[in-house]
Amino acid sequence: MKRSLFFIILFIFSSSFSAFSFQDSLSLEDYFVKNQIQPKKSKDGLYYSVEQEGNGVFPKSGDYVKVHYIGKLLNETEFDRSDPNEPFVFQIGYRQVILGWDKGIPLFRVGSKGKLYIPSHLGYGNAGAGNVIPPHSNLIFEIEILEVMDIDAYDRFMEELEQKERKAFEVHKHQQFIKDKRLINDYAAEHRMKVNRTPSGLSYLIKKKGKGANATPGNTLVVHYEGYLLNNSVFDSTYKKNKPFTFQLGKGKTIDGWEEGLQFFRKGSEGWLLIPSQLAYGPRAIEEEEINIPANSVLIFKIKVVNIIAN
Establish whether 94 is a catalytic residue: no
* Cα–Cα distance for residue pair 128/88, rounded to 1 Å: 21
- Give kind and range of the element (H or E) at residue 225: strand 220-228
Annotated catalytic residue 256: no
The catalytic residue among 48, 69, 108, 265 is: 69
Q: Please tell me which residue in 64, 141, 281, 301 is annotated as part of the active site.
A: 141
The answer to whether residue 124 is catalytic is: yes
Catalytic residue among 98, 118, 275, 293: 98
- 24, 63, 80, 236: the active-site residue: 80
Please, what is the Cα angle at 275 between 184 and 228, to 5 degrees?
A: 85
Enumerate the H helices of 200-278 as residue ranges. Answer: 238-241, 256-261
* 215: nearest Cα among 301, 299, 307: 307
Q: Residue 79 — φ and ψ, nearest 5°?
A: -115, -15
Residue 217: Cβ-neighbour burial (10 angstroms; 0-12, 13-18, 19+): exposed
With contact defined as beta carbons under 8 Å apart, do 224 and 306 qualify? Answer: yes
Does the annotation mark 141 as catalytic?
yes
Active site residue 291: no
| Annotated active-site residue in 64, 79, 204, 301 | 79
Instruction: State the catalytic residue, choosing from 47, 124, 187, 204.
Output: 124
Concerning whether 64 is annotated as a catalytic residue, the answer is no
**Which residues are annotated as catalytic?**
69, 79-80, 98, 124, 141
